[in-house]
A and B are shown apart, each in its own frame.
Chain A
Amino acid sequence: MRPALLLASVLADPQRALSLAGEDWQALLTVARAELLLGSLAHRLDGLALPPAVVAILADARVSATHGRTQALWEAEMARRALAPLGVPVVVLKGTAFVAAGLSAGVGRSIGDLDILVPRTALNVVEHALIDAGWEWVKPDPYDHLYYRRWMHELPPLTHPERDRMIDVHHTILPPTARPTPDAAALIADALPLGNGLAVLSPADMIVHAAAHLFADGDLAGGMRNLWDIDRLLREFADHPDFAETLRARATRHNLCAATARAIRLARRLYETPVDQTWAGRSQVTDGLYLRRLTARDGWGRERRPASRFAFYVRSHWIRMPPLLLARHLWTKARR
């Protein structure tokens, strides 16, 4: 079995780890680390009788995950302190949100930059408040600023030199030029306050956003972790009354039905997520193509399918920017 598929099957059912031999472990741990899933795997396998060398590596991964969690929550707190005086709603997204809301998707998760969603009308005041509080632009180039402000769904990235942590301020969850145009106002209106001045998306919006994020990149980088988030969220919210209905309604509202359905089908194939068959529909031929792309890493941790990666790469630009704009953008970058 390909190491990435082995990783997925052990994540889905940790008992399967009890029958693994040395080389299986070597490949599985290497792929887990490369796919940023080692912390999650370490928590899933905690307490099982495994080879000592494996137990030690998994214990290290839990140390890293604990530290990552502390840093992520602290970065969110420092952003909250900088933005609290503005009285603007601040919605935390992705990994930091899962941890802040205590969801199983956050357990052992490796967390990167802080992503926040604010109303589009508040972008300027948020920008100035962050700059006043010590954040600085990562890229000084004016063209990038223009590109970000007009075509992307976020401010150019900011970093805080005291902590070397980056923050991405979004006003919607997909670039405005992308075909599906999510309802940003609804995302913020239905966000759930955490009680400390920050909020997280509603359960259904979290899943829709995770699906949008997975395909928005086009090259599906970090796809296995993204689908693991979706698996954990679906299982956590499965007991909410008629959750499938709520999820379908939100996906429709954000014009992200196709993306959400495909993400759920892929999660089901990869992690055996219990999903309402009628809702996500039967698996399609193209699902297999996505799955091959997602599980392309070899036992040494190397990406193994450059050809298909290129196809997806072009698609990622197309999703972000319609063909006409794509040509101009690439041309501007090349000429500059």
Chain B
Amino acid sequence: MTILYHRPSGMTHVLLPPAPNILAALDAGPADAARIAERLGFAADDEAVDVIAARLAELAQSGLVAIED
């Protein structure tokens, strides 16, 4: 479990995997669920991409990730 203080919002979040791993993967620059799956070693793993997409939406709701379409 990871505890994270998010300076721009002043909010503290408790993160369970894969949330911290997704945030770490985004260090290398913006990416969609498929690209993040690749960066986490789950290339071409559709199920993993779906899970990551769901977690991305959750991270966006909490403000830790901004989704630009």
In their complex, do chains A and B touch, with some C-beta pair under 8 Å? yes
Interface residues of A (CB under 8 A from B): 67, 70-71, 73-74, 77-78, 81, 84-85, 134, 162
Cβ of B30 within 8 Å of any chain A Cβ, yes or no, is no
Partner of A74, one of B8, B60, B61: B8
Let me know if A74 and B69 touch, CB within 8 A.
Answer: no
Known A81-B66, A85-B69: A71·B61 in contact at CB below 8 Å:
no
Pair A78/B10 contact, Cβ less than 8 Å: no
Residues of A within 8 A of B63 (CB): 74, 77-78
Task: Check A70/B66 contact, CB under 8 A, given A134-B61, A162-B61.
Answer: no
Taking A81-B60, A81-B66, A85-B69 as given, write out 11 further A-B residue pairs in contact, using a Cβ cutoff of 8 Å, ordered by the A residue number.
A67-B10, A71-B10, A73-B8, A74-B9, A74-B11, A77-B8, A77-B63, A78-B63, A81-B67, A84-B68, A134-B61
Which residue of A70, A81, A162 contacts B10 across the interface (Cβ within 8 Å)? A70
Bound: A236/B63 CA distance, A: 34
Across-interface contacts of A67 in B (CB, < 8 A): 10
Q: Is the pair A70, B61 in contact by a Cβ cutoff of 8 Å?
A: no
A/B interface sample: 11 pairs, CB < 8 A: A70-B9, A71-B9, A74-B9, A74-B10, A74-B11, A77-B8, A77-B63, A81-B66, A84-B68, A134-B61, A162-B62
CB contacts (< 8 Å) of A73 on chain B: these are: 8
Residues in B with CB closer than 8 Å to A77 are: 8, 63
* Chain A-chain B contacts (Cβ-Cβ < 8 Å), number: 23
Q: How large is the interface on B (under 10, 10 to 19, 20 to 34, 35 or more residues)?
A: 10 to 19
Q: How far is the CA of A84 from the CA of B61 in the complex (A)?
A: 15
- Find the A residue at minimum CB distance from B10: A70
CA distance A73 to B10 in the complex (A): 10
A74 partner residues in chain B, CB cutoff 8 A: 8-11, 63
Complex contacts, B62 vs chain A, CB 8 Å: 162
Chain B residues near A134 (CB, 8 Å)? Answer: 61
Please indicate the chain A residues that have their CB under 8 angstroms from the CB of B61 in the complex: 134, 162
Chain A min CB distance to B23 (Å): 17
Chain A residue at minimal CB-CB distance from B9: A74
Q: Which residues of A sit under 8 angstroms from B69, Cβ to Cβ?
A: 85
Which residues of the other chain, A, contact B8 by a CB distance below 8 angstroms? 70, 73-74, 77
Instruction: Give the CA-CA distance A84 to B69 in the complex, in Å.
Output: 10
Closest A residue to B6 using CB positions:
A74
Within 8 Å CB of B11, what residues of A? 74
In the assembled complex, the CB of A281 is this many whole angstroms from the nearest CB of chain B, namely 45
Within 8 A of A (CB), among B22-69: 60-63, 66-69
Q: What residue in chain A is nearest B8 (Cβ atoms)?
A: A74
- Minimal Cβ-Cβ distance residue in A for B62: A162
Closest 9 CB pairs of A and B: A70-B10, A74-B9, A81-B66, A78-B63, A74-B8, A67-B10, A71-B10, A134-B61, A85-B69
In the docked arrangement, what's the CA distance between A71 and B7, Å?
Answer: 10
With the chains together, A74 CA to B62 CA distance in Å? 11
What is the CB-to-nearest-CB distance from B56 to chain A, in angstroms, rounded to a whole number?
Answer: 14
Task: Give complex CA distance A77, B11 in Å.
Answer: 14
The answer for the CA separation of A74 and B61 in the assembled complex, in Å, is 13
Taking the nearest CB of chain B, how far is it from the CB of A145, in angstroms? 26
Which residue of chain B has the shortest Cβ distance to A70 in the bound complex? B10
Determine how close the nearest CB of chain A comes to the CB of B26; give it in whole angstroms. Answer: 16
Chain B residues, CB < 8 A from A71 = 9-10
